[in-house]
Amino acid sequence: MVIAIGFEGSANKIGVGIVRDGEVLANERETYITPPGEGFLPKETAQHHRSKIHDILKRALAVSGITPQEIDVVCYTKGPGMAPPLLAVAIVARTIAQIWNKPILGVNHCIGHIEMGRLITKAQNPTVLYVSGGNTQIISYACKRYRIFGETIDIAIGNCLDRFARIIKLSNDPSPGYNIEQMAKKGTKYLALPYSVKGMDVSFSGILSFIEQKARPKGKQQKRRQEDEKWSDEDLCFSLQETLFAMLVETTERAMAHCGSSEVLIVGGVGCNERLQEMMGIMCQERGAKLFATDERFCIDNGVMIAHAGWEMFRSGTRMAWKEATVTQRYRTDEVLVTWRDD
């Protein structure tokens, strides 16, 4: 029996989770929410995490009923992510590991999402669509690595949605992406947007620039819209979702065909979106494949996914020297040697 505690804080979520042999014992989390029209900056986000993490740790231990003596390994997000929040959480994890005299493991954030999704859904060997505020990747496992078949070449899909939410001044509570999803449900008119799939990769920045001009036109564009074009913010949210998600479904289906896969697993914060799940589900049904997704407890960044990925690493023999217990903003999914899966 192995018990692992995980600390996550790569972006605006700070979480602590505890697992015991695949059983979730605690999953405590707080979110740094900024005013409408504003994003979250690294320095302020790190300050938020430092102010909350002690209370979250106490809650996680209380909920789980686990004492520090029973914990076998301390896990934390090594990267990728924003440097100040990553560092704030890593310092806490290092301190806890030394106080409790426990080994420490740095976990790849993306691997955490994938392994948590596999645990909750029981997907065996899926093609993975990883969609979040900082990442957009189509992934499949082969030969001890999670191989990236396609990815964004500029901004992540979650970043695209969040930035458009700021443009139209949507609330950041509970999240910009969720509020865009609710607005999109009220949209009735589709605006044709640029469709930017480049082989297996996707591009979102040009789409964002295009729809920003339609949402908040300036100068001559403003006059043209008043004369010829009438779109509500709900219509624009609907159009943006439909276009972005269609791009993801296309590239995911192509990866499935290449790998001969019959499963799709959606992970990451944007994976909570019901419309994305619906569109992917239609594609899977047409191919005779199965779709797997989790709810907001496990899609959105959380500490338990770090604990579980660390648990997998620890029980398969992975160990980390103290000098390696650092953080990095750039830590690709395919850099990690997957010691816990059999080919």
Binding residues for substrate: 130-134, 162, 177, 181, 273
Question: In which element (H, E) is residue 297 found?
Answer: helix 296-299
The structure tokens 């059999």 sit at 342
3-state secondary structure of 213: helix
Phi, psi (rounded to 5 degrees) for 192 = -65, 125
**CB-based contacts of 217: which residues, under 8 Å, 6+ apart?**
224, 225
CA distance 165 to 178: 10
Q: Residue 56 corresponds to which tokens in the numbers above?
A: 């979250």
CA distance 266 to 126: 9
Sequence ranges of the binding site: 109, 113, 130-134, 162, 177, 181, 273, 301
CA distance 5 to 109: 15
| Angle (deg, nearest 10), helices 205-215 and 233-259 | 160
The H-assigned helical ranges of 101-147 are 109-121
Sequence ranges of the binding site for a divalent metal cation: 109, 113, 130, 301
